[in-house]
Amino acid sequence: MSLDVRRIAVSFAGAAKRYDQAARLQHQVESELLERVAELPLAPSLILDLGAGPGRAAAALKQRFSKSEVIAIDIALPMLREARKRQGWFRPFRCVNADVRHLPIADGSCDLLFSSLCLQWIDDLPALFAEFRRVLKPGGWLLFSSFGPDSLRELRAAWATVDERPHVNVFLDMHDVGDALISQGFKDPMLDVERYTLPYSSALDLMRELKAIGAHNVDQDRARGLTGRRALDRVIAAYEAYRISDDAVAASYEIIFAQAQAPSGEQPRRQHGQDIAQVSLATMRELIRKPGQK
């Protein structure tokens, strides 16, 4: 899938003011990723929150690491305007309007890169991870979450009853993400998947929530123009196959959680498919507490 970066920026800019009220899954995933940060042996000087949105995680990171410099980076300037409203005078973080693929950050300067549900909007992960490797110090940590391919599978299937055009973004699976990390030389990547099912009153309710958070279809090959009422009615009717109660249909989300450490500058890139660990959060905690054990 080829993604339209300009549309991504415009979509999230337009959703900035109502994002926090609609982003219930995003808040849950972000909180779980922050819990994983808490398990790491960290005393960071510089932290980047990539795809920071309205700054909820950046504020939490600054709260936890009060002596660290925290920079919230987002491609949508209105999101950062919302983030500035979270600034406390005693624990401020900085806001930078930038594309995460081209970070305005010095080489080897960051201790932690944190990114929750941003990377699915990037269609060249090896290039992105090369940029992450550039800005991280040797041994610096990368922690992120991203949507997996089973996310919104019901909505994708409902649209498939209407036409063959892409109406729902396609997401990379865990093995592709792991391969991209390995290809850029990241050390000891650990990945796991969590699955969530959220209730909605109808497919239309789900689509309204996606619009409210700025999660539009950004495939370059998407159908252009407004969706006709007849097509929309067919999608809503097809989605009834996923009704789980009188007042709710289900929407599935697959979330990939990943962490890895940056190598030294001399560490070569590696071949795909090597040294990818798939672990649960409990196992990850044990590995961190007992680093000598495998």
pLDDT above 70 (res 225) = no
5-148+171-197+255-289 has which CATH code? 3.40.50.150
Specify the pairing of strand 94-97 against strand 69-74: parallel
pLDDT above 80 (res 73) = yes
Alpha-carbon span 82 to 175, nearest angstrom = 35
Residue 123 pLDDT level (bands cut at 50, 70, 90):
confident
Name the more confident of 204 and 227.
Answer: 204
> Which range (113-117, 169-173, 264-268, 271-275) has the least confidence?
271-275
The confidence score (pLDDT) of residue 221 equals 55
pLDDT above 50 (res 23) = yes
Place of tokens 């495998």: 294
What percentage of residues in the chain have a pLDDT greater than 70? 84
The confidence score (pLDDT) of residue 283 equals 55
Section 210-231 average pLDDT: 72
The structure tokens listed for 194 are: 């969590």
* 0.75 exceeded by pTM: yes
pLDDT above 60 (res 280) = no
Section 23-38 average pLDDT: 97
Question: Longest C-alpha distance within the chain, in Å?
Answer: 61
* Closest among 123, 182, 185, 117 to 151, alpha carbons compared: 117
Q: Please answer whether residues 177 and 254 qualify as being in contact, where contact means their C-beta atoms are separated by less than 8 angstroms.
A: no
Does residue 104 sit in helix, strand or coil? Answer: coil
The confidence score (pLDDT) of residue 170 equals 82
Section 254-275 average pLDDT: 74
pLDDT above 70 (res 224) = no
Surface-to-core class of residue 40, CB atoms within 10 Å of its CB (0-12 exposed, 13-18 middle, 19+ buried): middle
The confidence score (pLDDT) of residue 229 equals 83
Residues 6+ apart with CB under 8 A from 208: none
pLDDT above 80 (res 288) = no
* Closest among 185, 73, 76, 86 to 126, alpha carbons compared: 185
The confidence score (pLDDT) of residue 273 equals 44
Domain definitions of the chain by residue range: 5-148+171-197+255-289
The rounded mean pLDDT for the chain is 88
The confidence score (pLDDT) of residue 290 equals 46
